[in-house]
């Protein structure tokens, strides 16, 4: 899988204060993802849904279109133990969590037209599309501690013949849909569902390049080798060498 799709399920209730065509608001909801340590890279595992929150400023250009500048904080997580249809992935026994910090600029199209002033058109579904930058820091829990994975090179990054360490900043394309309703001229509530395809394959530190335990031990150290494949922890055996 070349790209990890980060899913933000923003079951949100934005609180917006209107000042003519300018809005300031906050949101809260949940975040999840589809990737190499989700449910077989094919669908969401809802049990891993984590908290998401954000702030935004929106300029309403007219009844149909708006531009939103926002900051979102979210956490995503996954573990191979959740996989139900792939014994190899489940036995691999990897897990992670990542805190995401996202700055984004999105455009909104109010499908029915939206005009909260005087409650003339207080309700509209909308679509949104934009560009965002995301800072992420994948970690795994090991012997009671949360270890930051990117500096370790668990897939051989930095070793001779392997890629350089990956960046922990990536661009994403936020898109989705929502509905909004004006309670008054000054207060709006809404519900939004969005997705973020990201231009990185490392939100979870996993891209699919497997390195033998002994090679990782020699090149990047004991901790990288221990976290590159964790089957031994699951089975109580010696570290497993993946061909």
Q: Summarize pLDDT for 62-83 with one digit per residue, the tens.
A: 999 999 999 999 999 999 888 8
Q: pLDDT (tens digit, 9 = 90+) per residue, 35-65?
A: 888 766 667 788 888 999 999 999 989 999 9
Helix segments in 67-207, DSSP class H: 87-92
The domains found in the chain, sorted by start residue, are 5-208 (2.40.160.20)
- Any bridge partners for residue 75, and if so which? 99
To 5 degrees, how large is the angle CA 130–CA 135–CA 139? Answer: 135
User: Which residues share a beta bridge with 50?
Assistant: 31
Bridge pairing between strands 187-197 and 145-148: unpaired
**155 bridge partner residues:** none
DSSP 8-state class, residue 68: E
Q: In 3-state terms, what secondary structure has residue 235?
A: helix
The pTM assigned to this predicted structure is 0.88
Residues 41-48: contacts with CB under 8 Å, at least 24 apart: 41/1, 44/7, 45/78, 45/82, 47/82, 48/76, 48/77, 48/78, 48/79, 48/82
* Distance separating alpha carbons of residues 90 and 203, to the nearest angstrom: 19
What CA–CA distance (Å, rounded) separates 66 from 110?
8
The model's pLDDT over 96-127, given as tens digits with 9 standing for 90+, comes to 999 999 999 999 999 999 988 878 888 999 99
Roughly how many angstroms between the first and final C-alpha of the chain, as a whole number? 19
User: What does the DSSP 8-state code read for residue 118?
Assistant: G
> Predicted confidence band at 222 (pLDDT cuts at 50, 70, 90)?
very high
Q: What is the pLDDT of residue 19?
A: 56
Task: Read off the pLDDT band of 233 (50, 70, 90).
Answer: confident
**Between 152 and 12, the higher pLDDT residue:** 152
Q: What are phi and psi of 151, to 5 degrees?
A: -65, -15
Measured CA to CA, the distance from residue 59 to residue 21 in angstroms comes to: 6
Distance CA 22, CA 118 (A): 16
d(CA 4, CA 206): 10
Six token digits for residue 8: 């933000």
Q: Quote the radius of gyration of the chain (alpha carbons, Å).
A: 21
Query: What is the H or E stretch that residue 217 is in?
Result: helix 213-220
């Amino acid at each position: 899988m070349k790209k990890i799709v980060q899913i933000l399920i923003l079951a949100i209730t934005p609180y917006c204060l209107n000042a003519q065509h300018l809005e300031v608001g906050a949101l809260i909801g949940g975040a999840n993802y589809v990737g190499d340590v989700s449910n077989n890279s094919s669908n969401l595992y809802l049990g891993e849904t984590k908290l998401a929150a954000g702030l935004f400023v929106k300029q309403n250009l007219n009844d149909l279109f708006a531009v939103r500048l926002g900051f979102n904080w979210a956490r995503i997580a996954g573990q191979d133990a959740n996989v139900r249809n792939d014994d190899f992935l489940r036995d691999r026994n990897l897990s992670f969590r990542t805190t995401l910090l996202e700055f984004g600029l999105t455009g909104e199209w109010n499908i029915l037209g939206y005009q909260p002033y005087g409650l003339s058109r207080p309700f509209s579904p909308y679509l949104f599309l934009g560009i965002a930058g995301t800072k992420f820091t994948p970690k795994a829990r090991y012997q009671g501690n949360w270890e930051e994975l990117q500096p370790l090179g668990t897939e051989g990054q930095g070793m001779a013949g392997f890629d350089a360490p990956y960046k922990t900043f990536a661009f994403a394309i936020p898109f989705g849909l929502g509905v909004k309703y004006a309670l008054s001229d000054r207060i709006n509530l809404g519900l939004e569902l969005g997705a973020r395809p990201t231009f990185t394959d490392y939100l979870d530190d996993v891209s699919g390049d497997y390195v033998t335990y002994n090679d990782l031990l020699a090149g990047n150290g004991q901790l990288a080798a221990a976290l590159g494949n964790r089957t031994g922890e699951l089975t109580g055996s010696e570290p497993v060498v993946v061909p």
